[in-house]
Chains A and B, each alone.
Chain A
Amino acid sequence: MTSTVELLLPLLAGVPLLIGGALFAVPGQHRLRQVAGIATLLGLTAAGVVLVALTADGSVIAHQIGLWPVGVAIPFAVDLFSALLLTVTAVLALVGAQYLIVSGDGREASSIPLLLVLAGGVAGALVTADLFNLFVFVEVMLLPSYGLLLVLSRRGSVAGARLFVTVNLLASTLFLGGVGLVYAVAGTVNLGELAGAAEDPAVALAAGVMLAGIAVKAAVFPVHGWLARTYTTATPAITAIFSAVHTKAAVYVIYRVYAVVFDGAETWQPVLLAIATVTAVVGALAALGEATMRSLLVFQMVSGIGVILLGAALFTPLAVTAAIAYMIHHMISKASLFLAVGAIEETYGTGRIDELGGLRTREPLITAAFVVGALSLVGLPPFSGFVAKVAVVLGAAEAGSALVAVVVLAVSALALVAMLLIWAGVFNGKRNAEVERRAAVARIRRREGLLDDDAVDDATVEAEVADALERNDPPRGAVDDDPHDHRGTRIPVALALPAVQLAVVVVALGLGGELLLSLSQTAAAGLIDTGAYVEAVMGR
C-alpha cells in the first residue's frame, strides 16, 4: 500500500499543474473550467485526508523522484505536518474556488486555472525535501498569484499588484541566494543530508539567509508592511486564498528548516522569540488603526503568524503542538472571516468600517459566520481558537516563558478590540444612509465589467437603487423610516455560504479539539525528533 502511495506523491503537485495548464487551452468553457477546478481541488483534499490517515501514526512517506538513486534524486516526503497543512490548504482553495465562482470572479477566464496552478505549487512546496526544489515550487506558487492579482484587480491602478511582485521576487531572490550559499558550504541541498548541519556556523549563516528570505514571505516583523498594502488590492476571494496559502507555506518552510537543519538549536531561541513576540504585538496593534475590514484582518493575520512562530522559538513538544494546532485553526478562522467580510464588500460595494452599519439585523448568515470567526480568533470556547490558544498559553508557561504567555493573552485582548471595531461599525448601529447607493454602484460596475475608478452615470444608479428597494418587500410591521427596514440590497445566500461552511468547520474543530490536538501532537513529535523524516528522505 505505502509503496504505491509513494509512487503517487509527485501527482500531488503534478495533477493540479497539468489540469490547470490544460484549462487555459479551453477559453469560453466556463462550466468545464468550474467543474474541473472543483473536481481537482476535491481530489487534492481527498489525497490530503488519505495522507493524514497514513501518517497519523508518525510514519513518513517518501519518494525519490524518477527513482534515481538517493542523493541524486529530488526527494518528496510527507509526514503528518505536511499532510495536515496540505489538507487544510486544499480545503481552503476549494472553498476559495467556490467563492470565486459565486462572486462572479470565476467568469474571468484564467482565474480557476491560475488557482489550480497555485494549489499545485503549494502542494509541491509542502512535500519536497530539497531546498532548491522548494525554491522552484515557491516560484510556481507565486507566478499564478501575480496573475490572479492582475486579472482580478478591480482598480485602474495595479500599484498594489506591482508591489506584491516586487516584494515577493526580492524575497525569492534572497532565498535562492541562501540556497546557493547552503550548497557552497554544505555541498548539498537535500534536507535529509542537511539534518543538523547548522552546528557548523557557516551552514547556520547560509540557512539564515534563506530563512530571512522566507520570513519576508511569511510577513514577519519587521518585514510585514507589504502585506496589508497588497492583499487588499484584489478581490476578497484572493485575499482569503492568499492568506491561507502564501504566508502559511512560508511558515511551514521556517518550521521545517529550523527543525531539520537547525535541530531546534537553543542558540537562536532569544532571536526567534523576540521576533515572534514583536510580530504578534505589532500586528495586533496595527490592526486597530485600520479603516477597512480587510486590512484590519490582514494585520490580525500578521499577529497570528507571530503566535504561530512562538512554537518554533520555544521548540518544546507542547509548544510545537500548540503552534501546529494554532496554525490550522488560524488558517480556517481567518479564511472564514475574509470570506464573510468579502461577501459584505462584494454586495455593499465598500469595505470601510465607517461606511457600513446595521448589518446585524439584515444579514443573519454573515453575522453568524463573522461572530464565529471573530470569537474563534479571539480564542473563546467552543471554537477552534479556544483549543489552540489554551495550548499556546500552556506551551509557553511550560517552557518557562511566563512573559510569552502574558503576551499571547494580551494579543488576544487586542484581537477582541479589533473584532469589536468591526462589530460596532459594520454589524451594530444604524444603516449608513449611502449604503443603497454604493451597493447599486457596485452592482452596476460588476454587471458592466467596470473598474472601481470608472465613473457610473447618476441616473443609472438612481434607477438601480429604486429597483432594489422595489424588489425586496418590507417585512410585516416595518415602516418606511425604520432604520432596520429590510428593503433593498441583501447578501445572496450563495455568496454567504463559503464563509458559513468554514464557520461550521471552526465550530467542529473547537468541539473536536481532542482530535486536532492529538494530530498536532504527532506532527510536532515529527518536528522535534526529525529522525524518521530524515531516514525516509535518505531512503533508509
Chain B
Amino acid sequence: MSLALTIGLLIGAGVFLVLQRGMIRIILGFVLLTHGVNLLLIAAGGTARRVPPFDGTDAAVAADPLPQAFVLTAIVIAFAITVVMATFAVVGRRDDDTESDDTVGYDTGSDDTVGDDRPDGAARGAAAASRRGETR
C-alpha cells in the first residue's frame, strides 16, 4: 500500500511539473515520473508464478531478477535522456520556454529581416500580418 501511495505521489508530482512551461521544471518532472515508474516496475516483481530461471536457486529466498534488470535499464535510459533534455534547456537563444512566441511549426517565419520592406500594398501581406498577430 505504501508503495502504491509513493508511486502515486511521485507520478502526480511529476505530471504537475511536466505541465509547466519551463524546460527545467519539465526535466525535474520527468525525474520524478521515471522514479515512480521504476518503483512500479520493482513492485511488479514476484517469484510466485514462475520457477527460478537458474537451477540451484531456492525460490523462497530468491528475488525476481527480471524487474531488477528492467529497472537497471530504465535508470540508465532515464539518466541519458535527462542529460539530453538538460542540453535542450540550455541551447536555443532566448530562454528555456517550450512555447515560442512566434513560430512553432505552423507559421514559418518569413516575417523577420526580409519582410519589412516588401511591397505591402498586397492584401496578402496584410492577411499574413494578421495571421501572425493571432499566433502571438
Contact in complex: A232, B114 (CB < 8 Å): no
The answer to whether A355 and B26 touch across the interface, beta carbons within 8 angstroms, is no
Q: Hey, which chain A residues are within 8 Å of B106, CB to CB?
A: 228-229, 232, 290-292, 295
> Within the assembled complex, what's the spacing in Å between the Cα atoms of A230 and B106?
9
| B87 to chain A: closest residue by CB | A150
- Chain B CB within 8 A of A181 CB: yes
Take A183-B66, A456-B114 as given contacts and tell me if A161 and B88 are in contact as well, using a CB distance cutoff of 8 Å: yes
CB atoms of A438 and B114 under 8 A apart? yes
Given contacts A352-B110, A355-B110, A455-B113, contact A183 B30 (CB under 8 A): no
- Contact across chains for B118 and A434 when beta carbons are under 8 A apart: yes
Q: Does any Cβ of A come within 8 Å of B108's Cβ? A: yes
Contact B70 A180 (CB under 8 A): yes
Residues of B close to A351: CB separation below 8 A: 108
Q: For residue B33, which residues in chain A have a CB less than 8 angstroms away from its CB?
A: 170, 173
Query: Are A159 and B97 closer than 8 Å at their CB atoms?
Result: yes
- CB pair A169 B44 closer than 8 Å: no
Q: Contacts A159-B99, A160-B104 given; indicate if A165 touches B84 (C-beta within 8 A).
A: yes
Q: How far is the CB of A221 from chain B (nearest CB, A)?
A: 18
Chain B residue with the shortest CB-CB distance to A146: B84
Taken together as a complex, chains A and B put the C-alpha atoms of A79 and B113 apart, in Å, by: 54
Asked whether, in the complex, the Cβ of A295 is within 8 Å of the Cβ of B18, the reply is no
Q: Which residues of A contact B110 (CB under 8 A)?
A: 349-350, 352, 355, 438
In the bound complex, CA of A355 to CA of B115 (Å)? 11
CB contacts (< 8 Å) of A284 on chain B: these are none
How far does the Cβ of A99 sit from chain B's closest Cβ, in whole Å? 19
Q: Is the CB of A187 within 8 A of B50?
A: yes
Q: Does A71 contact B (CB under 8 A)?
A: yes
Closest residue on chain A to residue B26 by CB atoms? A166
Nearest CB of A to B25, in Å: 11
Residues of chain A in range 275-309 having any CB-CB distance to chain B below 8 Å: 290-292, 295
Q: Report chain A residues within 8 Å CB of B74.
A: 176
The 8 A CB mask of A487-505 against B (1 = contact, 0 = none) is 0000000000000000000
In the complex, chain B residues whose CB is within 8 Å of the CB of A136 = 73, 77
Contact: B124 with A354, CB < 8 Å? yes
Task: Judge whether A71 and B88 touch: CB under 8 Å.
Answer: no
Residues of the A chain whose Cβ atoms lie less than 8 Å from the Cβ of B131: 291
Once the chains bind, are A183 and B67 in contact (CB under 8 Å)? yes
How distant is A164 from chain B, measured CB to nearest CB, in Å? Answer: 9
Q: How many whole Å from A273's CB to the nearest CB in chain B?
A: 30
Chain A residue at smallest Cβ distance from B128: A354
Q: Is A158 an interface residue (CB 8 A)?
A: yes
CB pair B108–A232 under 8 Å, yes or no, is: yes
Contact of B37 among A132, A162, A177, A184 (CB under 8 A): A177
Known contacts A159-B99, A177-B37, A183-B44: A166-B81 contact under CB 8 Å = no
Chain B 33-63 interface 0/1 with A at a Cβ cutoff of 8 Å (1 = within) = 1100100110111100110010000000000
For the complex, what is the distance from the CA of A184 to the CA of B49, rounded to whole Å? 10
Once bound together, how far apart are the Cα atoms of A155 and B77, in whole Å?
A: 28
Q: Within 8 Å of chain A (Cβ to Cβ): is B85?
A: yes
Taken together as a complex, chains A and B put the C-alpha atoms of A454 and B114 apart, in Å, by 11
**CB-based contact B105/A232 at 8 Å:** yes
A169: B residues at CB distance < 8 A: 30, 81, 85
5 contacts between A and B (CB under 8 A): A69-B53, A180-B67, A292-B107, A438-B110, A458-B117
Nearest first, the 5 A-B pairs at minimum CB distance are A184-B44, A159-B100, A158-B92, A232-B105, A187-B49
